[in-house]
Amino acid sequence: MSLTKLTGLSLVLAVSILPTAMPARAQDRTADPVTVTNADGSTEKLTCRRLTPVGSRVRGPKVCRTPEQWQQEEREARDKTRELQRTRNATNGN
């Protein structure tokens, strides 16, 4: 195979993988959960993460949620990624 064909093929593969390989945001996780008391007196454990846009050098906001809320967000992101991949594959005929 010639170098030109190999370079072109590599470029096509890299471009086709690129949209699915990057997450919407990079996440720095905080290891220790924080316990908060709600107005009604109940307590919840929250895990905080710093959300930074991919490619940014500036740290993003710190977001605190319950473990269940983080799991739900991760499930929704996986589902959305699968849907986008299915749609892309259907339009490409694969």
Separation between Cα atoms, residue 63 and residue 60, nearest integer Å: 9
pTM: 0.55
In the chain, domain spans: 25-92
The alpha-carbon radius of gyration of the chain (Å, integer) is 20
Mind listing the pLDDT tens digit for each residue in 55-67?
Answer: 998 888 999 999 9
Separation between Cα atoms, residue 85 and residue 19, nearest integer Å: 9
Mind listing the pLDDT tens digit for each residue in 27-58?
Answer: 555 557 888 888 898 899 999 999 888 899 88
